[in-house]
Amino acid sequence: MSNAALAASFFAALLATVAALAGAVWQARQRKPRAHVAGIAVSAVLLVVTILLAEAMGKRYDFVAWVYRIHMSAAYTTTAVLVLALGSGALHWTGKLSRKAHFFVAAAWGATLVAALGTGLWMFAGAVPKAAPATPAAADTR
């Protein structure tokens, strides 16, 4: 797969993830918990696909080191807060946590997600494709 095709696949997966999340939030706001949970499940699968494509891009592009570190800090924080949001959702589902408390945790996750998305776009904006590895045939000067 070319770098352009990989980038296009990544951004398509990212947009699909964001759309699924928006749908899940909409379902929550409409007080449709089963649809909300289904939307979160779809979002989780799409997020895994997006992360795998991001990892593949990381092998093909060089990023500004300090921007990369900022983005990865935001991404890891987002992942940690996601675990809290999923846990609070499970507690809310079982009646052990209020809707308001789950909303607070989910909103905190949303804020960290925006930070991770923003820093990821910033990181990609400064990305440079890595040079292709030299092959023995290319070095042959006969």
User: What region does 43 belong to: left with phi over 0, alpha with psi -120 to 50, or beta?
Assistant: alpha
* In the chain, % of residues over pLDDT 90: 88
Residue 95 lies in a domain: yes
Range of the domain at 42: 1-62
Do 42 and 67 lie in one domain? The reply is no
Confidence of residue 141 (pLDDT cuts 50, 70, 90): low
Identify the residue whose tokens are 């949001």: 85
CA proximity to 7, closest of 135, 138, 137, 121: 121
For helices 33-60 and 65-93, what crossing angle results, to 10°?
160
Q: What is the pLDDT of residues 16-43, one digit of tens each?
A: 999 999 999 999 999 999 999 999 999 9
Please report which confidence band the pLDDT of residue 139 belongs to, taking 50, 70 and 90 as the band edges. Answer: low
Distance CA 9, CA 14 (A): 8
Q: Is 44 domain-assigned?
A: yes
Q: Give yes or no: residues 126 and 71 share one domain.
A: yes
Give the gyration radius of the chain's Cα atoms: 19
Query: Could you tell me the pTM of the whole model?
Result: 0.82
Sign of the C-alpha dihedral computed for residues 132, 4, 123 and 51 taken in this order? negative
Q: Quick one: average pLDDT of 63-88?
A: 96
Sign of CA dihedral 92, 73, 23, 20: negative
**Structural tokens at position 88:** 């609070």
Residues 52 and 101 reside in one and the same domain:
no
